[in-house]
Homo-oligomer: A and B are copies of this chain.
Amino acid sequence: MPVYEVRFQPDGIRIQVGDNLTILEAAQRAGIVLNSFCGGIGTCRKCLVELPDGPEPLRACQYHIHSNLVVVIPENSRFFEQKILEEGISRAQLLDPLITKYHVKLTAPNLQDLRSDGRRLVDALSPGKIAGPHLISWPLLKKLPCVLRENDYDVTAVCHDQNIIALEPGDTTGRLFGAAVDIGTTTVVASLINLTDGKTVAVASQTNPQVTFGDDVISRIQYCRDNKDGLEILHRRIISGINELLRETCEKSGVEPTQIYELTAAGNATMQHLFLKVPVAQIAQAPYVSAFADAVNVNAAQLGLDIHPEGNIYIMPSVAAHVGGDTVAVTLATAMRHSDKINMALDIGTNGEIVLGSREKLLACSTAAGPAFEGARIRQGMRGAAGAIERVHIHEDVELLVIGGQAPTGICGSGLIDAVAELLIAGVLDNSGRLRNHDELPENINPALRRRLIKFEGNPAFILSFASQTKHGEDILLTQRDIRELQLGKGAIHAGLVTLINHLGIETSNIDRLYLAGAFGNYIRPESARRIGLLPDIELAKIQGVGNAASTGAKEVLLNKQARQHAEQLSREIEYVELASRKEFQEIFTSSMMFPES
């Protein structure tokens, strides 16, 4: 597969991508979140970008990359800026990190001024009566007399909140970096941020190296329970994985690892526990609780992360065992806590986390969506990689969009949702989720569709792609069982949505905006997801993909100390709605498996 380099301006970020990715997808991988109100289907025109020699702005979601490119992103196409403008917070206000640097030229001690080195430094950092950073870490204290004298008292102090954690020769205030890490169960993304201007200077991602010990959270917890050193092994894996990503971002950007003074991390509760080597068994045992929900601060050297040894690691606070720091980060990034309107955020993976509410009250729940949306337990399901059917459109016959533009080999989550929605519209599938028999099909149905409806192992199935057109020479089928699997997943999420809506005492129509977080939100067609009842029945214009919002939240707490307070308040304010114990839930779940009337 050919590889192209895309360079985003004015950020200066370079990324290597494979053939046929859209600019929207490439930007996403580079950690740049563009607006995609329409969910990337090319209708909202909010993701406009420019090519230096192109005639006019083009839609990032519609432009597929087939060569090296330089892409210029106007400020108002950025999701981040958009949100800030909505909340009326200027960029200048946003940039207020807990890590700061101060360049000071101290007067050398003399008979008229015999203050100790430490007090001399602290006093210089507290001009007038304002109390500045004043606690000198012990490791720094051991170097203090020499660093001051070797540099003629001309130094830069690196401070974390009230603590002076390092002292560097001369003026290094221009070099101040932090890292924000999104620890997903499947993928880990690290962004290296310049804390002097808030810009992302490099991004790196990789598959979570714990994947070899289990695809999902539960199997990793099981591994820790079954193996004496399981926790230690999984912990080391994620630490060394993040160290690799940090090294990569440093190499890309020419930043020294010791110039990174803080790292913020967001993940689900299990990922955050494993990151900190905290036992996880209780997360998977009724009644399912976390060891910690408050934010945790740990010394970088102690945790073994390769940033400045006295740097700080901040782990996002969480809400409950299944509503983790990533959900708090998403909620933070969508600024729901500050909105008078009623917003909903939805982050769908193996679990679906849902947050609903406004400034007055926020509710959250987690539903076991199952792996269908990630292509698992679907007969020919696969992840969203080259060869996956990602779009299905039924007009006269079936039209397919395949990732990589090649012959299809299977179907991924967004294709599955599309296929089911289109079959419902075409009348091939009834609202109960049953594929109709030939004699039950609508009379006016196109014969091209009729011949795709077959029997497979005694049950109905629908041929999405005939063997002659697939890569492996076999039909790609959507079986009745696949549809039932999808119904379980979408039923769980819908039941969660309904329960939260009921619990808040509102109607679906009261929801002002639905934020779709994560890769899922970038790839599905919102109208299909709405048609099958995976999303609530609200106007498409109210649905907004917010990209990797967990990463955005982790960046926000890195860039702004007040955002950190907001995250900690969110963690205590968000009311966790436990679904399994609610009597009505099973009932709602059963009805949620049905597809809505058109």
Contact = CB atoms under 8 A, between A and B. Distances in A.
B115 A276 contact: no
A114 B282 contact: no
A420 interface: no
A468 interface: no
A141 B289 contact: no
A109 interface: yes
Contact of A145 (B122, B145, B281): B281
A118 interface: yes
A576 interface: yes
B578 A116 contact: no
Interface in A272-297: 276-279, 281-282, 287-294, 296
Contact of A118 (B119, B149, B293): B293
Interface string A87-125: 000000000000000000000011100111111001000
Interface residues of A, number: 43
A551 to B, nearest CB: 24
The 6 A-B pairs at the shortest CB distance, nearest first, are namely: A116-B293, A118-B292, A116-B290, A111-B581, A109-B289, A145-B291
Among A134, A279, A289, the most chain B Cβ lie within 10 Å of the Cβ of A289
A456 interface: no
Contacts of A119: 292-294
A71 B295 CA distance: 55
A144 interface: yes
Number of copies: 2
Given A141-B292, A145-B278, A145-B281, 6 more contacts: A109-B282, A114-B289, A136-B292, A141-B296, A144-B292, A145-B291
B145 A282 contact: yes
Contacts of A110: 287
A466 interface: no
Given A111-B581, A282-B117, A576-B114, A138 B289 contact: no
A195 interface: no
Interface of A: 109-111, 114-119, 122, 134, 136, 138, 141-142, 144-146, 149, 276-279, 281-282, 287-294, 296, 298, 302-303, 318, 320-321, 576, 578, 581
Contacts of A320: 114, 116
A277 to B, nearest CB: 6
A291 B55 CA distance: 64
Contact of A321 (B114, B122, B134, B291): B114
Contact of A117 (B138, B141, B290): B290
Contacts of A146: 279
Contacts of A149: 282
A352 to B, nearest CB: 18
Contacts of A291: 116-118, 141, 144-145
A294 B114 CA distance: 14
A135 to B, nearest CB: 8
Given A114-B320, A321-B114, A581-B111, A142 B289 contact: no
A239 to B, nearest CB: 14
A111 B142 contact: no
Contacts of A138: 276, 296, 298, 302-303
